[in-house]
Amino acid sequence: MGAGLRGFIRIVCSVLLCGGTPTLVFPILSGTAWAQHETAPAPDLDDPSETRTAEAVTRDVSVNDARMKTADNDSDNWLLYGRTYDNQRFSPLQEIDRGNVKKLAPVAIIQTGIQGPLEVSPIVVNGIMYVVTSSDHVRAYDAASGHIQWSYDPKLAYSNVCCGPQARGVAVAYGKVYVARLDGIIAALDARTGKEIWKSDRAATLPADPQFYSFTAAPIVYDGMVVIGSAGGEWPIRGFVQAYEAETGKLIWRFCTTAAPNQPGGKTWSGDSWKFGGGSVWATVSVDLAQDMILFPTGNPNPDNWGENRKGDNAYTDSIVAVHAKSGILAWWHQIVPHDLWDYDQASPVTLFDADDGHGRRVPAAVEAGKSGEAVIVNRMTGKLLRKTAFVERSANMFTVPTDKPVTVYPGANGGNVWSPGAFSPLTRNFYIQGNNAAWTYTSKKTEPYMPGKAMVGANGGGAMKLELDGPNRLVEPYGSLTAINVDTGKVTWQYRSPMFMQGGVLATAGKLVFAGEQNGDFNAFDDANGEKLWHFYLGVGAMAPPVTYRVADRQYVAVAAGGAGGGGYTRIMDTLGRPAYGGVIAIFALPKD
């Protein structure tokens, strides 16, 4: 497609801000803000963000579209959030394998200087590692030694933050590092120095009342666009995925995750509930290069536990959604939990691969594994279900409608897979996913529809959700898991159980290994075929972030962040055990040199 035509399409799409069919935008109107769950700092906005350079990057860290689209052929680097646009998190590196992994040892322990939930998946370009911490502090390190190159410490604008200051990654392209910040701003930094090149205008790129919107996922750069989804699903928002111009930060298109009346699925919302219906996009999007499509999961509708004001299935919440990359116009959606009343977000990145269609033919497929505790595999051309597999225990009453009388079910609001990316190995045909197993008790209460300008107390939750770790409502032993699922049959190949929750993400390699961390602080390597734990290293605080692997000067490294994680009773568990809930390190491992 020529640049002129592409530019024309982008100009048109920037007007159609909630794609599907051309629609008017129904933004959140100004009004009295709710009492905050948490807030980002409210600094002096005349004080610019600070960048400190310890040693400017001298290596070639430029990444163009061709490199990103062929990232699968680049064994040395980890160029995208999931290594490749399909989010498989599989590396062909095999220097570290089943036979020698027991020799794996730390070569660097990086102190980020920021304590708090550390859920980042590093990007590595030609020996330089780029990470982001809680509250969006960006760091560049030497990926072999761990020595710092530069740091970026932003002065965040005010924002209502529903679920903590997490940041899960950056994107690196065109000589820039892109960070999607907690205050709803995209910032582009010079990849060599960390200096801020531009940042997006909240008024021009977010709906009205921008303090309700935040970003916690890692953005993806694709074909000149920076693509990111909105967080903040417990506020009265209309969730979205949107694309910015990578060179300027201007908005190109926006797809909204609650269907308007004149869109497909629009009749699944009663009244005007779709205008403030939630549907956050907590995960990094995936890209189907062959079809030029963007796929992503969506979160729960709002309010969480009271559905009388939003009767119907509430499209496109709790779904896998596919949109056309150039325009953001809907291609299809597959809803996993209609009319969600249990906070069953689908919040893990969608993973793309080919899978058996049930008739012996391989077809393009996609999998989503969310809080509802099932890995759901669909045909990614149509959204049609191929198969689904439970990877945590699921109670028979898990879809009981909450009332003012408490009901206990499992999994719950932070059960199943909370947000962690899985991994797919083309060698084993297994999809590897972490899980949290525990009971939750729900109640609901009548909640008035959100009215702009009307003061409200707290988030529009519509009830209460409680993690049951002990007592008569415990029902199921709390534990974590790592499960291998054959994508062609849906059968569980193996499952590892941890005495504590498991979340953060998985890495699979051609060395026939699977790497994943645990809440107890262990970072582990498993045999990809049978789940035997072959190696572990204790990091002192929850290793609850996605591992990555890469090669520098012909030596393979594995890196993982350890800083604990937010929400889901995590801090309560660690306090009970008398152990620190949060840290702030990134560990780099390698085999000893000969």
Lowest model confidence (mean pLDDT) among 21-25, 380-384, 484-488: 21-25
CA distance 348 to 293: 18
Residue 297: which CATH number? 2.140.10.10
Q: What is the pLDDT of residues 476-488, one digit of tens each?
A: 999 999 999 999 9
- Predicted confidence (pLDDT) at residue 174 exceeds the cutoff of 60: yes
In the chain, % of residues over pLDDT 70: 90
Partners of 319 in the beta sheet?
Answer: 335
| Residue in the block written with tokens 């102190």 | 111
In this structure, what token pair is assigned to residue 558?
Answer: 């594995």
Q: Degrees (nearest 5) of the Cα angle 198, 167, 10?
A: 45
Rg of the chain (C-alpha set)? 22
Whether 343 is catalytic? yes
Burial of 286 (0-12, 13-18, 19+ CB in 10 A): buried
Q: State mean pLDDT over 213-241.
A: 94
Q: What is the mean pLDDT of the chain?
A: 90
Count of CB atoms situated within 10 Å of the CB of 115: 18
Lowest model confidence (mean pLDDT) among 491-495, 551-555, 567-571: 567-571
pLDDT interval class at 455 (50, 70, 90)? low
Q: What is the DSSP track for 400-427? A: PPP-SS-EEESS-TT-B-SS---EEETT
pLDDT interval class at 458 (50, 70, 90)? low
Side chain identity at residue 563, one-letter code: G
pLDDT of residue 7: 40
Count of CB atoms situated within 10 Å of the CB of 397: 10
- Predicted confidence (pLDDT) at residue 34 exceeds the cutoff of 50: no
Q: What is the pLDDT of residues 327-368, one digit of tens each?
A: 999 999 999 999 999 999 999 999 999 999 999 999 999 999
pLDDT of residue 209: 80
Q: What is the pLDDT of residues 260-299, one digit of tens each?
A: 999 999 999 999 999 999 999 999 999 999 999 999 999 9
Lowest model confidence (mean pLDDT) among 44-48, 132-136, 309-313: 44-48
109: containing domain: 3-590
- Predicted confidence (pLDDT) at residue 84 exceeds the cutoff of 70: yes
- Predicted confidence (pLDDT) at residue 451 exceeds the cutoff of 90: no
pLDDT of residue 473: 94
pLDDT of residue 568: 63
Residue 551 backbone phi and psi in degrees, to 5: -135, 135
In 3D space, the residue among 363, 343, 464 whose CA is nearest the CA of residue 412 turns out to be: 343
Percent helix, strand and coil across the chain, each rounded to 5? 10, 35, 55
| Domains held by the chain: number | 1
- For residue 335, give Cα distances in angstroms to 299, 341, 369, 578: 11, 14, 12, 41
Global pTM reads: 0.92
Tell me which of 190, 340, 343, 345 is the catalytic residue.
343
In angstroms, the first-to-last Cα distance of the chain is 51
Category of 358 on φ-ψ map: left (φ > 0), alpha (ψ -120 to 50) or beta: left
In the chain, % of residues over pLDDT 90: 80
pLDDT interval class at 45 (50, 70, 90)? very low
The H helix count followed by the E strand count for the chain is: 4, 39
- Predicted confidence (pLDDT) at residue 501 exceeds the cutoff of 50: yes
